Amino acid sequence: MKNILLFALTVLTTSVGFSQHGLDKDIKNIESKVIEWRRDFHQNPELSNREFKTAEKIAKHLKSLGMEVQTGIAHTGVVGILKGNKPGKVLALRADIDGLPVTERTPVPFKSIVKSTFRDTEVGVMHACGHDTHIAILMGVAEILSKNKDKINGTVKFIFQPAEEGAPPGEQGGAKLMVEEGVLKNPDVDAIFGLHIGAGQPVGTITYKSGGIMAAVNSFEINVSGKQSHGSTPWASVDPIMASVKIIDGLQTLVSREMPLTQEAVVLSIGKITSGVRSNIIPEKAQIIGTLRTLDVDMQTQIHKRMKEMVPAIAKAYRAEATIDIDPGYPITYNDPALTAQMVPSLEAAAGKENVHIIKAITGAEDFSFFQKEVPGLYFFLGGKPKVTPEGVTISAHHTPDFYIDESGLLLGVETFVQLTFDYLGK
């Protein structure tokens, strides 16, 4: 059907060279568990900072593996610590665990029908970005490595992070809060690896980029104040809706006319505008909410400055008043060049050299960047798109009701994390 991916719920068994570590059997046996875990999390998603049941399931699994387990980090975060039988470095592996306020439309038997409240509005909840796959993959890695800790030089920290999609208004959360609460300490982490599933990237492939791979992100909120009147006498009003329209229009010119786009990309998008209650009342207030994505720190600073200048000035031109609040957001997701170069052979060993590709930076954002500000990190993308997509079928994007992941790609995620772990700690 149109706008929905091919829902082939078949399992693809892949094989990589883990014979040297004696892990072939463990790798082969973990796939069905990973898929089962993924479907459970998919059917029972929870919003950011509300991942209580998700955290309980993760902690229970890690404890069953005999790990030291820490809970309640950054509200609902879980950390498992696996100490190898030999001394060495400390490596962290991270998975994000929160869902999104999206009502699912995918016709799968494990479809989410969960409802919750987001910004005072009842919403459906869905793992519309693939975090359910990230959790299941890392749980699988934890099981394999715990069975083979006699082969591990050093320590592995399994970080299951809440609120990657952003904490609710008025709350703190996510990677930034985990770092502030010491998740990279005791024992001190030497490096961290993370992955993200990609609905538009073919199963069996891995993509990466040295240096900046994902944009910095800032959310912003604009509040416009005017004067209310009857809709039949607009001259008696100060119309906040008209002022808001002009503000939105003006903000787009900051990108198209003031940013050197041949240097790096900038994206400014409005996600919500709220005002009024009925057709014949010009309201007193309006609110605009949006997102800004930048890949250059100087360009980010400049556009912040111009947004703060432009918004009140445009409102004033229409006799209204406006304030703008830009949140600190996430920094650029930056892959340490030396670590990336060191670990590319591991990516190629897991997926095959022909299936590992360098990409350009993208304007999506990730709070994995807060970990990378503290320790060297490598973040890469894992394919989740069916290898064969029928003609006329559209690949649905992340954060949409039709988002779909081919589960046959999950095992490669497990294999890659395991390969990276043994190679990094071995060296």
DSSP 387: S
Mapped onto helix, strand or coil, the DSSP state of residue 122 is: strand
Give residue 1's identity as a one-letter amino acid code. Answer: M
Alpha carbon separation from 397 to 178, 214, 215, 270 (Å, rounded): 29, 17, 18, 18
DSSP 167-225: PPTT---HHHHHHHTTTTTTTTPSEEEEEEEEEEEETT-EEE-SEEEE-EEEEEEEEEE
| Residue tagged 């947004």 (tokens) | 307
Rounded Cα–Cα distance for residues 70 and 158 (Å):
10
Query: Tokens for 74?
Result: 């950054």
* Catalytic residue (choose from 143, 164, 264, 407): 407
Q: Do 163 and 44 meet the contact criterion of CB atoms below 8 Å apart?
A: no
* Catalytic residue (choose from 318, 330, 334, 404): 330
Residues shown for the chain: 427
Taking alpha carbons only, the member of 314, 417, 339 closest to residue 34 is 417
Rounded Cα–Cα distance for residues 11 and 35 (Å):
9
Give residue 98's identity as a one-letter amino acid code. Answer: D
407 is catalytic: yes
Cross-strand bridge partners of residue 230: 281
Cross-strand bridge partners of residue 218: 292
Taking alpha carbons only, the member of 125, 95, 312 closest to residue 196 is 95
Mapped onto helix, strand or coil, the DSSP state of residue 425 is: helix
379 is catalytic: no
Alpha carbon separation from 319 to 118, 244, 280, 284 (Å, rounded): 33, 12, 21, 12
Positions marked catalytic: 330, 407
